[in-house]
Amino acid sequence: MAEQVHLHPKLEKQLTALESRGNTPAIAAGRARKIIEAMIKGQTSQASGLFRARSDGRVKNSWKYDLGAGYRLLCIRSKQIIYIMHAGDHESCETWFNNNLKKQPQNTTIKMTAFTIRNTAQSFDFQTVRSPEQEPDFDDQDLPPIPQEYLRKVFCGLTG
């Protein structure tokens, strides 16, 4: 069970920038804040309405939270501490991962804001289960398979 949550100093600026852009980015920032709040309270990730968390192999012990519409929240779990490092759209998160490839970005001299996780009956876990009250994202909708003949035409047109 994690005992502390550390927030990177740039995270608040990133969330504020997302909120100022309105509509979809603001919704994603609100979801990120709910996840962070749930972590600090020691609740399960499902209690925060989390869609899914996935591990990423480029940075050891890193997790990507899908905030919807291509926005992500990046975290690293190390020993008993959860580091929340970055929030942004898909491209900015990919850039962050590529810049920190095979590094340990949580081991930095930058002073991070630390919160002690409140003791609760349920420890925070990195569940990948969708909260039942949340509507499905476009990525989760069942789309019919695309026939091979259409795929061949499209890819032949792209390469030829």
Residue 85 lies inside a defined structural domain of this protein: yes
pLDDT level of residue 91 (50, 70, 90 thresholds): very high
Residue 139 lies inside a defined structural domain of this protein: no
What pLDDT does 125 receive?
56
β-strand 113-116 against 4-7: which pairing, if any? Answer: antiparallel
Residue 98 lies inside a defined structural domain of this protein: yes
| Distance between CA atoms of residues 24 and 45, nearest Å | 21
Q: Count the domains in the chain.
A: 1
Residue 159 lies inside a defined structural domain of this protein: no
Residue 32 lies inside a defined structural domain of this protein: yes
Residue 107 lies inside a defined structural domain of this protein: yes
Residue 8 lies inside a defined structural domain of this protein: yes
**Which residues sit opposite 45 in a β-bridge?**
none
Cβ-contact 34, 44 below 8 angstroms: no
| Distance between CA atoms of residues 148 and 114, nearest Å | 52
What pLDDT does 46 receive?
59
| Distance between CA atoms of residues 34 and 75, nearest Å | 14
The answer, yes or no, to whether residue 155 has pLDDT greater than 90, is no
What pLDDT does 128 receive?
46
pLDDT per residue over 19-69, tens digit each? 998 888 999 999 999 888 888 887 765 555 554 566 677 888 888 888 888
| Distance between CA atoms of residues 92 and 49, nearest Å | 23
β-strand 4-7 against 53-56: which pairing, if any? Answer: unpaired
pLDDT per residue over 99-115, tens digit each? 888 777 777 777 887 88
| Distance between CA atoms of residues 58 and 103, nearest Å | 9
Residue 154 lies inside a defined structural domain of this protein: no
pLDDT per residue over 115-149, tens digit each? 887 665 555 555 444 455 555 555 555 667 788 88
Q: In terms of residue numbers, what domain contains 102?
A: 4-131
Domain of residue 8, CATH code: 3.30.2310.20
**Which residues sit opposite 114 in a β-bridge?**
6
